[in-house]
Amino acid sequence: MDILISNKAGKQLGDLPKTVQNAIRQIFLELQEKGLEARIDLKKLKGFPDHYRLRVGDYRARFEFEKPDTLKIYWIGKRSKAYND
């Protein structure tokens, strides 16, 4: 599975503490290897066909499956702002 990250999400990831950045990267690598079978905190977002959110402590990442083998990350940040941007 290919993982694409939008410019916005890349900047947001770079602004996070290093420990959070590493945790998010590790989880996305696990997702890349195992797909939806990975044992991570994922939740499908209501009202969107292929959009999901990933929980990492107080942080969230929102992403979508563009094709069966492509995942696009479009937002990463604090939980309090996860659904307002």
Domains and CATH numbers, the chain: 2-78 (3.30.2310.20)
Query: Which band of pLDDT confidence, cut at 50, 70 and 90, is reported for residue 79?
Result: confident
pLDDT band at 49 (very low <50, low <70, confident <90, very high): confident
Q: How far is CA 74 from CA 7, 57, 67, 68, in A?
A: 8, 19, 15, 17
Mean pLDDT of the residues in the chain: 90
Percent of the chain clearing pLDDT 70 (strictly above): 96
